A and B are shown apart, each in its own frame.
Chain A
Amino acid sequence: MAATPQQTQNAENVYNTIIKMLDSINFNYETDTSGDMFMITLTVNGDDLPMKVFIFVRPEREIVSLYSPIPVKVPDDKRVEMALAVAMANDGMIDGSFDYSLSKGEIRFRLTESFVESLLGQEQFRYMLGVSVNTIDRFNDRFLMLAKGMMTLDQFSEAISK
């Protein structure tokens, strides 16, 4: 279903608020407003690994989604184990979650916020970015160690429960 003019206007407002937030903290980013949604791409330096972040503003659904792929390709023989690790990581998380493609061995962090009848401020998007970076930083090296056989699932469970 196509977005209404009001939904498109709301999405533009949200998009502009995110851009202002990124400008205020001097982040470099790229934008793509040519499609039926607004996209912003940026790279954030975490404690361990750089993180690529994609932000989609979807007018017809009135949501903003932040996706960040984890730079780990899970080998075939570790894919079931990684599914259990992702379940452990998500369980107890307060906001956001890791999506895991079993068939591709790919993991990404996802955090979504709705702007249905709501005006979201820059603080909200700063929070989204901050919580995403913190959560990814907490887990990405552990996912990597598990994928490389440098950590067992039991060790992963112990490490994240601390």
Chain B
Amino acid sequence: MRSKMHRGQRLTESQFGFLLALPALAVFGVIILYPLLNSFAMGFTNQSLLKPARRFVGLLNFERIFMDPNILQVFVNTFVFVICTTVLSFSLGFIWAILLNQGIRGSELLRGITLVNWIIPGTAIGFLWMWIFNGQYGVLNAVLRGLGLIEENITWLGRPMTAMAGVIIARAWQTLPWYMAFLLAGLQAVPFEQVEAARIDGANNFGVFTKIVLPNMKFIIFLILILGVIGNLQHFDIIWVMTQGGPAQATTTLAVEVYRRAFQNWELGVAAAIGVLWVLLISIFAFFYIRNLEREGQ
């Protein structure tokens, strides 16, 4: 191809290509890269909104974080929240996708309605589930009492274990349609001839699933699990609306802890230091995501 002319100045083909990507790179630099580097730098200072000047303090913030006896619980909470939401949502989404892929009447309609969960704003989902789990007027208590499973109402979000279970159930509910959509597309791409051949060879449902369906969907499963984990590692709004990290830190994940430190205690330096650790944690998963994309692309 001929090189492009631009204001009388010759641009080579690759320069022109780079020019097209420039706006995206500029936006990335201004709204992602600069704030991120700024936060990283802040992690090594004692910046606080209550004091005017900031001073370089080296690794003091990190020292303080690791001396804090509560931080271990925050990491454990994050771990529990991320693993449970991802596993619960993925497995129910997978089963739901398989059921809706069986071709019963009305499947298309149900697929459509399922996606409603995904488009409801996180804050609304938080309030909705809060209302369901409500200790006095909640429908969950009413149903369990009606079935005779509990004697008295339980304030679900007021106890550490059930509060964690509550936010996990709400978050899994929000993300289920997302997994379903991807897995449904994956299921439909499984070659029908292979399933048929396996049937002729006498495979049962379990055999078809493990020998034909899973191998064919390996890539998509890996991809959505990693994206799911990254999304859950970042998740903030449902937890914040439902429990604000409580009762007594029981549902405080890294996202909630950074927000609390920064915008309630005004300790920007410490918050940024936790943020650095958090981003490093996410980077591990991002690395696997990109490596997998790379491998599939070749």
Whether chain B is bound by chain A comes out as: no
